[in-house]
A and B are shown apart, each in its own frame.
Chain A
Amino acid sequence: MTLFTRLYRTIVITRLAVTLWLLYQIPGYWRRLRGMPKRTDEELRQTHDKAADLILAAAFRMRGVIIKMCQAIATRSDVFPPEFVNRLKECHDRVPHKSFDVIRPVVESELGKPLDAVFSEFSETPIAAASLAQVHAARLHDGREVAVKIQYPDIEEIVKTDLRNMERACRIYEYFEPQPLALLPLLKELTLHLGLELDFRREGESADRIRELFADDEHVIVPEIYHEFSTGRVLVMQKVGGTKIDEAEALEAMGFDLYEIVQDLMHIYVRMILAAGFFQADPHPGNLFVTEKREIVVLDFGLSKQLPEGYGLGLFELMFSLMTFNEAAMIRAFQELGFETKTGDTDTFVTLARRMISRSDTGAFEGEFTEEMTNELFNAIRENPVVTVPTDFVLVGRVFAFLSGIAHTLGHRANILAAMGAAPP
Chain B
Amino acid sequence: MATMAEVDLEKLVYTRAELLTSGDYAEPLIANGIRCHGGFDADGVYGSPRVIHRTPAVLAWQAQLEQGGHELIGIARALMPPQYPNVEQAKLLLEHGVRDPIVRALTIVSIVEGFGAIIRDVKVPKLDELIVEPIDGSALAHLNQGLFEAHARDESGYREEGGHKQMWEAARDLALETPKIPGDVLMRLMGRRRRAAKAKRPFPQLDEKLERMLQMMAQVMVVEVFAMGTFDWGERLLSDPEVSAEPQAAGDMVRYIRADESPHIEYLRTGLSEIRARTLRTVDGNTISGREVVDRLIHRILKAMTTHRREEQREDVRAGMKDAMQVAAEPTQLLEEFDSLDSSWTPPEKTGFEAPAAA
Interface residues of A (CB under 8 A from B): 214, 216-217, 219, 257, 259-261, 263-264, 267, 270-271, 274-277, 294, 309-310, 312-313, 316, 320, 323-329, 366, 417, 420-425
Q: Are B156 and A324 in contact (CB under 8 A)?
A: yes
Q: Does B2 contact A (CB under 8 A)?
A: no
In the docked arrangement, what's the CA distance between A271 and B198, Å? 20
**15 CB-based A-B contacts, threshold 8 Å:** A257-B198, A260-B195, A267-B196, A270-B190, A271-B187, A316-B111, A320-B165, A324-B114, A324-B159, A325-B159, A417-B115, A421-B190, A421-B191, A423-B118, A424-B216
A264–B212 CB distance below 8 A: no
Q: Determine if B181 and A421 form an interchain contact, defined as CB atoms under 8 angstroms apart.
A: no
Expressed in whole angstroms, the minimum distance between the Cβ of B68 and any Cβ of chain A is 29
CB-CB nearest in chain B for A260: B196
Kindly provide the distance from the CB of A386 to the nearest chain B CB, expressed in whole angstroms. Answer: 24
For the complex, what is the distance from the CA of A310 to the CA of B195, rounded to whole Å? 26
Chain B residues with CB under 8 Å of A294's CB are 195
Pairwise interchain contact A310-B181, C-beta atoms closer than 8 A: yes
- Would A425 and B216 count as touching, CB distance under 8 A? yes
B196 touches A263 (CB 8 A): yes
**Which residues of A sit under 8 angstroms from B165, Cβ to Cβ?**
320
Apart from A261-B196, A325-B158, 20 more pairs, CB < 8 Å:
A214-B193, A259-B196, A260-B197, A260-B198, A263-B196, A267-B193, A274-B186, A276-B187, A316-B186, A320-B156, A323-B156, A324-B156, A324-B158, A324-B163, A326-B158, A327-B160, A329-B157, A366-B121, A424-B119, A424-B216
**Alpha-carbon gap, A97 to B115, bound state (A):** 48
A313 contacts B185, C-beta separation under 8 Å = yes
| Contact in complex: A324, B117 (CB < 8 Å) | yes
- Give B157-194 interface residues, CB cut-off 8 Å to A: 157-163, 165, 181, 183-187, 189-193
- Complexed CA–CA distance, A214 and B195 (Å): 12
Of A219, A275, A328, A423, which is within 8 A of B187 by CB?
Answer: A275
Report how far A425 CA is from B217 CA in the complex, Å: 10
How long is the Cα–Cα vector from A38 to B9 in the complex, in angstroms? 72
In the complex, B215 has a CB within 8 A of chain A = yes
The answer to whether A424 and B191 touch across the interface, beta carbons within 8 angstroms, is no
- Check B115–A421 contact: CB distance below 8 A: yes
Q: Is B34 part of the contact surface with A, judged by Cβ < 8 Å?
A: yes
> Which residues of chain A are near B111, meaning CB under 8 Å?
316
Q: Say whether, besides A324-B117, A425-B215, A420 and B189 are in contact (CB < 8 Å).
A: yes
A-B contact count (CB 8 A): 95
Within the assembled complex, what's the spacing in Å between the Cα atoms of A200 and B44? Answer: 65
Residues from chain B with a CB closer than 8 A to the CB of A263 are 196
- Answer yes or no: B199 CB below 8 A from chain A CBs: yes
Expressed in whole angstroms, the Cα–Cα distance for A263 and B187 within the complex equals: 17
- Report chain B residues within 8 Å CB of A260: 195-198
Contact partner of A264 among B114, B118, B196, B199, CB < 8 A? B196
Q: How far is the CB of A278 from chain B (nearest CB, A)?
A: 11
Chain A CB within 8 A of B219 CB? yes
Closest to A257 in B: B198
**Residue B245 interfacial (CB < 8 Å):** no
- Tell me whether A420 and B193 are in contact in the complex, defined as CB-CB below 8 angstroms, given that A323-B117, A326-B157 are known contacts: no
Separation of A168 and B264 alpha carbons in the complex (Å): 64
Q: Please name all residues of chain B whose beta carbon is closer than 8 Å to the beta carbon of A329 when the two chains form the complex.
A: 34, 157, 162
Q: Is the CB of B186 within 8 A of A275?
A: yes
**CB distance B190 to A420 under 8 Å?**
yes
In the complex, are the beta carbons of B193 and A271 less than 8 A apart? yes
**A11-B184 Cα distance, complex, nearest whole Å:** 51
CB neighbours (8 Å) of B117 from chain A are 323-324, 422
Q: Are A424 and B195 in contact (CB under 8 A)?
A: no
B147 to chain A, nearest CB (A): 15
Task: Please name all residues of chain B whose beta carbon is closer than 8 Å to the beta carbon of A274 when the two chains form the complex.
Answer: 186
* Inter-chain contact B156/A264, CB cutoff 8 Å: no
- Determine which residue in B156, B192, B195, B216 has the highest number of CB atoms from chain A within 10 A of its CB, and name it: B195
Q: Does B122 contact A (CB under 8 A)?
A: yes
Q: How many angstroms between the C-alpha atoms of A417 and B118 in the bound complex? A: 9
- Please give the distance in Å from B221's CB to the nearest CB on chain A: 13
Q: Which residue of A lies closest to B216 (CB)?
A: A424
Quick one: closest A residue to B214, CB to CB? A425
- With both chains docked as a complex, state the minimum distance between the C-beta of A114 and any C-beta of chain B, in angstroms: 44
The reply to whether B187 and A425 form a contact with Cβ atoms under 8 Å apart is no
- Looking at the assembled complex, report how far the CB atom of B157 sits from the nearest CB atom of chain A, in whole angstroms: 5
Provide the bound-state CA to CA distance between A217 and B191, in Å.
Answer: 12
Using Cβ atoms and an 8 Å threshold, which residues of chain A touch B163? 324
Scan B83-123; emit 1 where CB is below 8 A from any A CB, else 0: 00000000000000000000000000001001101110110
Kindly supply a per-residue 1/0 record for chain B positions 129-172, scoring 1 wherever the CB is within 8 Å of any chain A CB and 0 otherwise.
00000000000000000000000000011111111010000000
For A425, the chain B residues whose CB sits under 8 A away are 199, 212, 215-216, 219
Q: Nearest chain-A residue to B34 (Cβ)? A: A328
Cβ contact of B192, chosen from A216, A219, A276, cutoff 8 A: A216
Interface centre among B187, B192, B216 (most CB of A within 10 A): B187
Assembled-state Cα–Cα distance A423/B212 (Å): 11
| Most B CB within 10 A of own CB, among A260, A274, A320, A424 | A424
Distance in Å: Cβ of A270 to nearest Cβ of chain B: 7
With both beta carbons as reference points, the residue of chain B lying nearest to A218 in the complex is identified as B195
- In the complex the two chains form, is B189's CB within 8 Å of A326's CB? no
With both chains docked as a complex, state the minimum distance between the C-beta of A4 and any C-beta of chain B, in angstroms: 52
CB atoms of B186 and A327 under 8 A apart: no
Are A309 and B156 in contact, with the CB atoms below 8 A?
Answer: no
Q: Which residues of B contact A277 (CB under 8 A)?
A: 183
Chain A residue, CB-CB nearest to B215? A425
Task: List, in ascending order, chain B residues with CB within 8 A of A422's CB.
Answer: 115, 117-118
Question: A312 to B187, alpha carbons, bound, how many Å?
Answer: 10
CA gap between A276 and B158 in the complex, in Å: 29
Supposing A216-B192, A324-B158, A325-B158 touch, asked if A313 and B181 sit within 8 A by C-beta, the answer is: yes
- Roughly how many angstroms separate A316 CA and B110 CA in the complex, as a whole number? 13
* Closest-CB distance, A130 to chain B (whole angstroms): 30
Contact of B189 with A421 in the complex, beta carbons under 8 Å: yes
Cβ of A273 to closest chain B Cβ, rounded Å: 10
Chain B residues within an 8 Å CB radius of A327: 159-160
Using Cβ atoms and an 8 Å threshold, which residues of chain A touch B197? 260
Instruction: Give the chain A neighbours of B160 by CB distance below 8 A.
Output: 326-328
**A309, closest chain B residue (CB):** B183
**Chain B residue contacts of A421, Cβ below 8 A:** 115, 189-191
Closest A residue to B111 by CB, please name it.
A316
A294 to B198, CA, bound (A): 14
Q: For residue B190, which residues in chain A have a CB less than 8 angstroms away from its CB?
A: 267, 270-271, 275, 420-421
Query: Using Cβ atoms and an 8 Å threshold, which residues of chain A touch B195?
Result: 217, 219, 260, 264, 294
CA of A425 to CA of B219, assembled, Å:
9
Please, how many angstroms separate the alpha-carbon atoms of A395 and B212 in the complex?
A: 36
